[in-house]
Amino acid sequence: MIPVPCIAPIRAVFYFPHVKFLATYLLLSLLCGSLAAQPLVYDFSGNDAIGSGSLRGTLEDAGISQYSAGVRNRIVGALLSRYSEEGYYAAEITTVECDSVPVDDEIRCIVEINEGPLFQIAAIELAHKDSVDEAALREAFDSEPGDVFSQSAIEQDIVRLLGVYEREGYPFASANVDDIRVEDSAGLALVTVRIAIEEGEPFYINEISIEGNKQTNKDVIVRETRIEKGERFNEEKVGEVKRRVERLNFFNSVSDPTLYMREGRGGLLIRVEEGNTNLFDGIIGYQPGRTEDEPGFVTGLVNVSFRNLFGTGRWFNARWERATQEVTELELGYLEPWLFSLPLNLQGNYYQRQQDSLYIRRTFTARATYLATSTLSFSANASTAAVIPALTTTTVNTLNNSSTLTGGLELRLDTRDNIYNPLSGIILRNYFSGGNKSFTRQGTGEKVTDFIQRIEFDVHWFHQLWPRHIIAISLHGRDLNGNELDISDLYRVGGANTLRGYREEQFTGTTIGWTNLEYRFSLGRRSFAFAFFDLGYIFQEEDERYQRPRFDESKTGYGIGGRLETGLGVMGVSYALGEGDSFDTGKIHFALVNEF
């Protein structure tokens, strides 16, 4: 059958002087219109390497399923592209003939193919200097002799090849296919590819320039890069610079570093935008008594944070909080970064907790943290804690004036892409501590020493399902062991940062665990809304001496919330329902988010 070409432009009607030509034009138009909406079916011949079903799928994927103007060229183009992908670069589509009249509402097309030889790689030649070992260059190639020749695969190999040069200190290296030779051999087309490589000169980072640091000292940023003056360019190390500087948490934005040459000296340029590193929060409230006879009390929070003192990277934090009538907390902290110009941070903390009229617990902690990489750190700490009980009938048999000296080790891995609103990454924290608790037992005068051991772990996982939709899952565990554990030693769970839907620190136990599942919708760089489900487990053995009953329960909570960036900092709020709660008895949790 001879295909009928549809080549009748509408404007031509106004220039035909004879009715005969107009009638011919109308006939062709009607015939083309009758074919255009008909589906196509194909009869292939000469296709030994690729099956007919696969070729039909190729045409369907290309959107060639109905007859239209220019369909023959589209069929030829799609099939030749497929054959090139399979390594048949000499393939020809010798015939494409489509019926001029539909049969059973289908247009049948006959396609004859001459596949030609399969192109196969015989050798890959590298024309280069000896600056980089050729074995290392060869490892970058997925293509090998005997493989089907693929232009796209060779292009990807060249990209990986240049990556090797970047890692070896040649960021300006270039490479291209310089020559392709083809030889016939037993029905195959054997291809020899020659790749010419221009290495350029090795690049040394003789200086690091910082732009935009109006407050932060240049040296604070430079030391965080972990790049020494005169160091040879390393693509992997330079690629870590942005993440390292961002984790200082001093800047609103950090650019990807760029290379430059100035007066024959190589340099690295980092642009930053300073953020607000000082924070003062003050909240005060009054909680009236629940009955006429019960007095009211003042609640409040004062939080002062200096996260970049005088632009040196040092930080100081002071916090006083009275969230309930029963608990008052005071905390002070100071961090000295990069002690002796080493990636070693030294931190000191003081924490005081006054619990009801039962006791006061004071803890001093010194911690040294080695920053192994931008994501991995190891810490060792020593602390001393003193518990001073009130002399009441409630505490005579349950609390002793004690002191505890402990030491601990911690491993922390943090691969989050953003501290406040991560789209991917994990946080892993493992902690172990042990020490002696000493006291004189009230009533008997017996001197007691008991070994107290704590094991803790925290895991957070973040994953973006699709843009702005993130799932966040965390798992936490705590275990406390000792023979003389009083209420001041126990772990506490409940509230905004652990098990939502319950009062702050509502439950105490020697073994606790909880998991948080959140579905987040990102609202900005540091803001998101979320729905959550929390599950917690609390356990403690019965202890007659300290008048503690056995407790072994699981609790659940669920609700909605959000985290918003405000002028006071990043604030979190959630509405949560615990077991047995109705809408009227749900809990509203507030939290101030600070990262150090």
DSSP 350-378: EEEEEETTTEEEEEEEEEEEEE-SSSEEE
**In 3-state terms, the chain is what percent helix, strand and coil (to 5)?**
15, 50, 35
In a domain, 221, yes or no: yes
Is there a single domain that holds both residue 417 and residue 483?
yes
Residue where a domain terminates, one of 224, 246, 274: 274
Residue whose structure tokens are 């138009």: 29
Task: Identify the bridge partners of residue 576 per DSSP, sorted by sequence position.
Answer: 559, 587
pLDDT at 443: 76
Contacting residues for 102 by C-beta, under 8 A, at least 6 apart: 34, 35, 38
In a domain, 131, yes or no: yes
Is there a single domain that holds both residue 238 and residue 298?
no
pLDDT at 358: 86
Q: What SS3 class is residue 188?
A: strand
pLDDT at 567: 62
Is there a single domain that holds both residue 223 and residue 294?
no
In a domain, 1, yes or no: no
In a domain, 2, yes or no: no
Tokens for 133? 């070992």
Is there a single domain that holds both residue 418 and residue 472?
yes
pLDDT at 568: 59
Is there a single domain that holds both residue 225 and residue 334?
no
pLDDT at 414: 95
pLDDT at 69: 79
The domain of 68 spans: 10-114
Is there a single domain that holds both residue 227 and residue 368?
no
CA distance 523 to 555: 30
Is there a single domain that holds both residue 194 and residue 246?
no
Residue where a domain terminates, one of 223, 245, 274: 274
Is there a single domain that holds both residue 371 and residue 500?
yes
pLDDT at 290: 60
- Residue 72 is part of a domain; what is its CATH number? 3.10.20.310
pLDDT at 288: 63
CA distance 562 to 519: 11
pLDDT at 170: 92
Domain count, the chain: 4
In a domain, 4, yes or no: no
Is there a single domain that holds both residue 399 and residue 478?
yes
- Evaluated on CA atoms 47, 52, 58, 59, the torsion sign reads positive
CB atoms within 10 A of CB 110: 14
Is there a single domain that holds both residue 96 and residue 175?
no
pLDDT at 393: 46
Q: What is the mean pLDDT of each run of 10 residues along the chain (596 residues)?
A: 34 38 43 60 92 93 85 92 92 90 86 94 91 89 93 93 91 93 90 93 94 94 93 90 90 92 92 86 64 71 88 93 83 96 96 89 97 94 94 63 96 91 95 96 87 97 96 97 92 90 90 97 90 96 84 95 75 88 83 55
- Residue 555 is part of a domain; what is its CATH number? 2.40.160.50
Is there a single domain that holds both residue 252 and residue 286?
no
pLDDT at 23: 42
Residue whose structure tokens are 């009533």: 443
Is there a single domain that holds both residue 490 and residue 388?
yes
Residue where a domain terminates, one of 274, 292, 312: 274
